[in-house]
């Protein structure tokens, strides 16, 4: 029986293309990574363009692979999304972020809200209860949590999505729309959703202030967000020229290598403690 399974697998693997094999390998290793505690969160500060102070941070998943070293989420998140493993990863991220916030608060750090990325697949009617349980377990206030969601969720557009968002907002959490401008949501559309913050995607920030199209898009997004009374965060800000342009537009916060790359928890705590400024 074993031989026939083996030869079956062999036959199958010959049929598979490299990509599918690679995905299966990553999926298996990722399951193991969850068990072996190979995952960790890095934190990237968000700074106020007005005060120059750290006013938030985004938690970003990292995988310390025993052989390959630090693996970027760009490699494994898409696989996790495809296989559904993103649900387990997403739970781990929420749990770990709350554990860390609790530890920082116990160490008397004054914490700005910490953002976690949510996959559209995590977004179901049980999500508010699941998050409430994690918050309760770690004694973390909902105001400490900012949930970053993407436009793909809005395009699904159902009333049920709006209801879940309203529930999360009513609990006291903030909602940010990530990678804004890369999807399909229009101004009229956005109005329906209880979102507190728009994040301008890095692809529009790269060309500032020289690319006319990028300037026009950034300007339009900021104007729109202001009309909807939403906060605006620009992501991927790398140069002082980009920063100045965004500040003049009226953008509220920036996140990017200009201020800091994503860093281990201890380094972020040091920045907070030292009051690092823009």
Binding site for ligand C2E (CB under 6 A): 44, 60-61, 72-74, 77, 86, 90, 93, 117, 119, 178-179, 235-238, 255-257, 262
- Among residue numbers 139 through 158, which ones bind Ca ion (CB under 5 A)? 148
Query: Quick one: which of 29, 151, 179, 231 contacts Ca ion (CB under 5 A)?
Result: 179
| Residue 177 interacts with which of Ca ion, ligand C2E, none, CB < 5 to 8 Å by class | none
Query: Minimum distance from CB of 48 to Ca ion (Å)?
Result: 18
Pick 86 or 249: Cβ nearer ligand C2E = 86
Pick 96 or 178: Cβ nearer Ca ion = 178
The angle subtended at Cα 137 by Cα 132 and Cα 143, nearest 5°, is 50
Query: Minimum distance from CB of 90 to ligand C2E (Å)?
Result: 6
Closest CB to ligand C2E belongs to which residue?
A: 256
The site map against Ca ion for 94-133 (x = CB under 5 A) is -----------------------x----------------
* DSSP string of the chain, one letter each residue: -HHHHHHHHHHHHHHS-HHHHHHHHHHHHHHHHHHTT-EEEEEEEEEETTT-SEEEEEEEEEEEETTTEEE-HHHHHHHHHHHSTHHHHHHHHHHHHHHHHHHHHHTT--PPPEEEE--GGG-STTHHHHHHHHHHHHT--GGGEEEEEEHHHHHH--HHHHHHHHHHHHHT-EEEEEEETSS---HHHHTTS---EEEE-HHHHTTTTT-HHHHHHHHHHHHHHHHTT-EEEEES--SHHHHHHHHHHT--EEESTTT---EEHHHHHHHHHHT---
- Among residue numbers 186 through 245, which ones bind Ca ion (CB under 5 A)? 201-202, 235
Pick 29 or 151: Cβ nearer Ca ion = 151
| Residue 94 interacts with which of ligand C2E, Ca ion, none, CB < 5 to 8 Å by class | none
Alpha-carbon distance of 28 to 18, in angstroms, equals: 16
Pick 1 or 266: Cβ nearer ligand C2E = 266
The yes or no reply on residue 44 touching Ca ion (CB under 5 A) is no
Query: Minimum distance from CB of 9 to ligand C2E (Å)?
Result: 31
Query: Minimum distance from CB of 13 to Ca ion (Å)?
Result: 34
Pick 12 or 184: Cβ nearer ligand C2E = 184
| Residue 149 interacts with which of Ca ion, ligand C2E, none, CB < 5 to 8 Å by class | none
Nearest to 95 by CA among 144, 130, 57, 134: 134
**Residue numbers of the site for Ca ion (CB under 5 A)?**
117, 148, 178-179, 201-202, 235
């Amino acid at each position: 029986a074993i031989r026939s399974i083996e030869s079956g697998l062999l036959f199958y693997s010959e049929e598979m293309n490299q990509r599918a094999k690679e995905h299966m390998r990553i999926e298996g290793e990722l399951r193991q990574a969850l068990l072996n505690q190979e995952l960790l969160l890095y934190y990237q500060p968000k700074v106020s363009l007005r005060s120059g102070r750290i006013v938030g941070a985004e938690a970003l998943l990292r995988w310390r692979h025993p052989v390959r070293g630090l693996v970027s989420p760009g490699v494994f998140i898409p696989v996790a999304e495809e296989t559904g493993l993103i649900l387990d990863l997403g739970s781990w991220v929420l749990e770990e972020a709350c554990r860390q916030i609790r530890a920082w608060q116990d160490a008397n750090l004054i914490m700005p809200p910490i953002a976690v990325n949510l996959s559209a697949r995590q977004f179901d009617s049980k999500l508010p209860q699941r998050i409430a349980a994690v918050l309760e377990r770690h004694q973390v206030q909902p105001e400490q949590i900012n949930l970053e969601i993407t436009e793909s969720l809005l395009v699904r557009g159902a009333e049920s999505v709006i209801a879940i968002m309203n529930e999360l907002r009513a609990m006291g959490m903030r909602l940010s729309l990530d990678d804004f401008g890369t999807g399909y949501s229009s101004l009229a559309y956005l109005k329906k959703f209880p979102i507190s913050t728009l994040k301008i995607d890095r692809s529009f920030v790269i060309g500032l202030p020289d690319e006319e199209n990028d300037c026009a898009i950034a300007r339009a997004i900021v104007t729109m967000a202001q009309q909807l009374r939403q906060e605006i965060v620009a992501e991927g800000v790398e140069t002082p020229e980009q920063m100045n342009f965004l500040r003049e537009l009226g953008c509220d916060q920036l996140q990017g290598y200009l201020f800091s790359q994503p860093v281990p928890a201890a380094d972020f705590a040091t920045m907070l403690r030292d009051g690092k400024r823009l």
